[in-house]
Amino acid sequence: MDEGRQPEPSVSALIDRFKTHRATIGVIGLGYVGLPLGCTMGRKGFNVLGFDIDPAKVELINAGSSYLSHIGTGEIAELRGTGHLAATTDFGRLAECDAIILCVPTPLTPQREPDLTFVVRTTETVLPHLRPGQLVVLESTTYPGTTRDVVRPILERSGLKSGRDFFLAYSPEREDPGNASFSTAAIPKVVGGDGAEALGLACALYDEVVTRTVPVSSLEAAEAVKLTENIFRSVNIALVNELKIVFEAMGIDVWEVIEAAKSKPFGYMPFYPGPGLGGHCIPIDPFYLTWKAREFDVTTRFVELAGEINTAMPMRVVTRAIEALSDHAGRAPKGARMLILGVAYKKNVDDTRESPAFKIMELLEKRGVHLEFHDPMVAEIPITREHAEFAGRRSVPLTRDVVSGFDAAIICTDHDAVDYVSLVAWSHLVIDTRNVCARTGAVGGHVVKA
């Protein structure tokens, strides 16, 4: 062994620490992916140390409180009480961790190209604290090649080598906030490693945390799995969004068609139209693949067409709302008052990331519409990357006096906590993008599907 070189880490010893739950797990990024993962690992008996640049999140966790609606304060308090969860802004403590898991955002630039700023900055933060024998896992959704070509070179600037001194893996997050049927522990984990030992270590860790681990042959294959899952959804949602427009022209209700079609027990899976895509994954991930594909002179026409259709849906809702306002009230949009029902990107969560409601609001306000919103899950709109102008606006109460003061209500998110029968009874006009009025029996001639 060269003088001054540290002894090579024992893979078997690290596997043993994972299997006996004696390992300390560092989770960087305590958002919608990192916090549920950290809590799940803590419940399994691991000591979890969460890292975040937001001191408010760190303070809440250490005080035993939660800031995500689908993770109860009681759960955080219990994990704090057992000592299996702690949070810090001190990234120097990464050296304490046997495994470091990166759960940071991967948004798009204004030109709809991958923005790896958070991945790069976080990896550079890990760099000075990397030590031999650690497993580093990227969970952020990204294009094939990111872990190998972006993350690994940064970490190897330490002088340590992947596969010899530290071990590098990729395991795509599969969180579905608000889905009570599939918690983090109940969702199988796909894992790819930079070499056989890294793969074995990552599998050993996740085997102790989730219902099943699914190893694949490479980092790139694991990265491609996540894109495939979300592109599948994007393409199928685009299909039903287009069918909605076609069937509407024919006087056919697309929701009725879908309900009947899904009675077929094979060869069909229901997807539903809406006001546009939301959440961190489906509106963004397809563009990661189309960008990377250009490097190989491949055109992803099918994927890009789906993106165009889905991106156009907020404008479709605005056009439909303006038409309905003219038909039912005989008035122009300028000076009209409209109530947005739901700014979360999906029902029964407080997650506003990439919500199509914001694009709809932007387009309506450009046309002179005065807007307010009601959302039982979002009391105040947080700062968002693309629509910071809405930050700080507060939800108005859903009462007869409030609702009747608007010319129209647009249902963007179909939260279960909303009384749609009363909403329809109190409203002059309802634009329903989710078919929730029909589902709840809230019918009327002034309800327009969009």
Question: Taken in order 425, 426, 428, 434, is the CA torsion positive or negative?
Answer: negative
CA-wise closest residue to 230 among 282, 295, 180: 282
Question: Dihedral, CA atoms, 241, 247, 252, 254, nearest 10 degrees?
Answer: -20
Cα 420 to Cα 417: distance, rounded to the nearest angstrom: 9
CB atoms within 10 A of CB 302: 12
How many other C-beta atoms are found inside a 10 Å radius of the C-beta of residue 101? 29
Q: What does the buried/exposed string (b/e) look like for 227-260 if buried means 16 or more CB atoms within 10 Å of the residue's CB?
A: bebbbebbbebbebbbbbeebeeeeeebbeebee
- Can you tell me which residue has the tokens 């681990």? 213
Q: Which of 65, 28, 70 is nearest to 49 (CA)?
A: 28
- Write down the catalytic residue from 39, 97, 203, 281: 281
Contacts of 217 (CB under 8 A, 6+ apart): 192
How remote is the C-alpha of 185 from its chain's centroid?
A: 17
Query: Would you call 281 a catalytic residue per the annotation?
Result: yes
- Give strand ranges (E) for 313-449: 337-341, 370-374, 408-411, 430-432, 447-449
- Kindly list the distances between the CA atom of residue 91 and the CA atoms of 96, 122, 231, 292, 423, in Å, as whole numbers in the listed order: 10, 10, 34, 31, 49
Positions marked catalytic:
281
